[in-house]
Amino acid sequence: MASVLVVEDDQFVRSALIRHLTEAAHTVRSVGTALEALREVAHFSFDVVILDLGLPDLDGAEALKMLRGITDVPVIIATARDDEAEIVRLLNDGADDYLTKPFSVEHLSARMAAVLRRSRATGDTPPSPVIRVGGLSIDPLRRQAELDGARLDLTRREFDLLAFLAGRPGVVVARKELLAEVWQQSYGDDQTIDVHLSWLRRKLGETAARPRYLHTLRGVGVKLEPPSVEPPR
């Protein structure tokens, strides 16, 4: 079973989550503020964090960014907010999943199981040698990537996506395969892939209209390959 941190300021919701997760044989710790959550992840090891956005001391979106600065623990956002733009932003900032209140305990259990499967599958995969494609250098062991010697500041999902594509240079990868291999999902929203590709392009110094490494073939998939002509320096 999993070690879970519940970050929720509503005592009723918090108690219900603790009761459900404990009954499911998970080990649960809980806090009601963002700062307490940061202290918890700094001192204890968790398998997953369930994070509310409406915290009294700091908005959960900011708390998520701070969590991502110190840990790669999977984070499931649980909140009453349902704005699509905000959901996309939170996923891009490092959230692994998103649940809109009210939700059933069965729904939460299913999402937790999926997130934990993805996390454990990644952890069980032996590290590969450093991958080099053009000016890109990707180290799966250290989970670091560089472009022309400069360190790239990537979220966990951005790194996974870049490493997967770089490991197949010049090969067109279907979106369905990206969802299965990078997100560990058999189905999903193409917008999730588009968002991560957009942010990757920005960090690689390119755009969809003027690609260098990442090339989208409409209706087919995505490929990563070294630039055919390096831009003038």
pLDDT in tens, 173-232: 998 888 888 887 766 666 788 888 999 999 999 999 999 999 998 888 999 999 875 544
Q: If you average pLDDT over each of 84-98, 126-140, 176-190, 211-225, which comes out highest?
A: 211-225
The predicted structure's pLDDT at residue 94:
85
Mean pLDDT, residues 106-120 taken together: 81
Nearest Cα to Cα of residue 221 among 188, 197, 187: 197
Residue 122 in this model has a pLDDT that exceeds 60: no
Which residues face 222 on adjacent strands? 173, 216
Residue 67 in this model has a pLDDT that exceeds 50: yes
> Can you point out the beta strands (E) in the chain?
3-7, 27-31, 48-51, 75-79, 97-100, 131-133, 136-139, 144-147, 150-151, 214-217, 221-224
Q: Which structure tokens are listed for 121?
A: 């599958």
Mean pLDDT, residues 131-146 taken together: 89
Element (H, E) at 121: helix 105-124
Contact 158, 199 (CB under 8 A): yes
The predicted structure's pLDDT at residue 87:
83
Opening angle at CA 171, ends 169 and 174, nearest 5: 130
Which pLDDT band holds residue 121 (cuts at 50, 70, 90)? low
Question: CA-to-CA distance for 102 and 99, rounded, in angstroms?
Answer: 8
Residue 103 in this model has a pLDDT that exceeds 90: no
Mean pLDDT, residues 67-93 taken together: 84
Question: In this structure, how many other beta carbons lie within 10 angstroms of the beta carbon of residue 52?
Answer: 24
The predicted structure's pLDDT at residue 109:
85
Residue 12 amino acid letter: F
Which pLDDT band holds residue 233 (cuts at 50, 70, 90)? very low
Question: CA-to-CA distance for 23 and 44, rounded, in angstroms?
Answer: 21
Mean pLDDT, residues 101-115 taken together: 84
Is 174 in a helix, a strand, or coil?
coil
Opening angle at CA 158, ends 179 and 152, nearest 5: 160
The predicted structure's pLDDT at residue 28:
93
Work out the percent of the chain whose per-residue pLDDT is above 70: 91
